[in-house]
Amino acid sequence: MALSILHRATGIALYVGTLLLAWWLIAAASGPAAYANVQAFTGSIIGRLIVFGYTWALMHHMLSGIRHFVWDLGFGFKANEREALTWGALIGGIVLTVLIWIIAYAIGGGR
Amino acid sequence: MSATDTPKRSMRTPLGRVRNLGAAHSGTSDFWRQRLTAVAMTLLMIPVLVIIMMLLGRNQAGAAQILGSLPIAVIMLLFIIASAWHMKIGMQEVINDYVHNEKLKLVSMMLNNFFSIAVALASIYAILKLSSGV
């Protein structure tokens, strides 16, 4: 499977997305008005979609990275093992993303 | 040790000196750091997610108080440093693979370094500011 390009694509997306994280941290350090701007953005539909996409990119890149790490250590090269690792990263990334957002809504919605 | 550290009277041939250093001209050091920062971030992922969950739905005062506490600031700083380093090396690898024009490559490499360092420093500054309560 040609999943390595997805590892790169998510990596590049995460690279650009660090701007959002930096903005958020700087806003928290700046004051209520700046922080309200970030919250207005992350609370909007587009903002939520971007953060959701960011969550998935992060989870997928992490699991896909663990897959590469297993290979670096010299394991998982059999055909069935390769398939399992690849599908594990693909499905695991989606599952973790949904799970994180369910927990986020349960916690964030309660405040 | 870089190739330039080699004494001038070395018996090694120029080819021998650069062999195995790869497209980034830095040997396996980037490979190692890429894995090191990846493992660090994987270990830090759960603490960082917990911190983000703690911040959800809070206003700036609440967020500032949480982010400024010592253990959380340290976790965030470690994660910021690891991610900036990791993404700098990752983008460098992408540039090495796809950008073949030497001048464009040079500019891309510089911009990559500038971006990664700027994002890291801005984030670190924010955390330190929150920690010191200024």
**Domain ranges within chain A, ordered by starting residue:** 4-110
Provide the percentage of residues in chain B whose pLDDT is more than 90.
75
pLDDT of A111: 67
pLDDT of A53: 97
The answer to whether position B10 is within a domain reads no
Q: A12 to chain B: nearest residue by CA?
A: B91
pTM of the complete model: 0.87
A27 — contact with chain B (CB < 8 Å)?
yes
pLDDT of A97: 97
Q: Is the pLDDT of residue B22 over 70?
A: yes
Q: A8 to chain B: nearest residue by CA?
A: B94
Residue B128 belongs to domain spanning: 27-132
CATH assignment of the domain containing B36: 1.20.1300.10
A36 — contact with chain B (CB < 8 Å)?
yes
Residues A29/B130, Cβ–Cβ less than 8 Å: yes
Residues B75/B83, Cβ–Cβ less than 8 Å: no
Q: Is the pLDDT of residue B1 over 50?
A: no
pLDDT of B6: 55
pLDDT beneath 70, residues of chain A: 1-2, 109-111
The answer to whether position B5 is within a domain reads no
Q: Is the pLDDT of residue B17 over 70?
A: yes
- CA of B5 vs chain A CAs: smallest distance (Å): 30
The answer to whether position B19 is within a domain reads no
- CA of B121 vs chain A CAs: smallest distance (Å): 9
Instruction: Give the pLDDT confidence of B74-133 residue by residue, as tens digits.
Output: 999 999 999 999 999 999 999 999 999 999 999 999 999 999 999 999 999 999 999 997
Residues B52/B18, Cβ–Cβ less than 8 Å: no
Decide yes or no: CATH 1.20.1300.10 for domain A4-110. yes
Rg, chain A, Cα only: 17
Phi first, then psi: give them for residue A73, nearest 5 degrees: -80, -5
DSSP A11-55: HHHHHHHHHHHHHHHHHHHH-HHHHHHHHHHHHSHHHHHHHHHHH
ipTM value of the model?
Answer: 0.92
The number of folded domains in chain B is: 1
The answer to whether position B66 is within a domain reads yes
- CA of B129 vs chain A CAs: smallest distance (Å): 6
Residues 51-90 of B with CB under 8 A from A: 52-53, 56-61, 63-64, 67, 76, 83-84, 87, 90
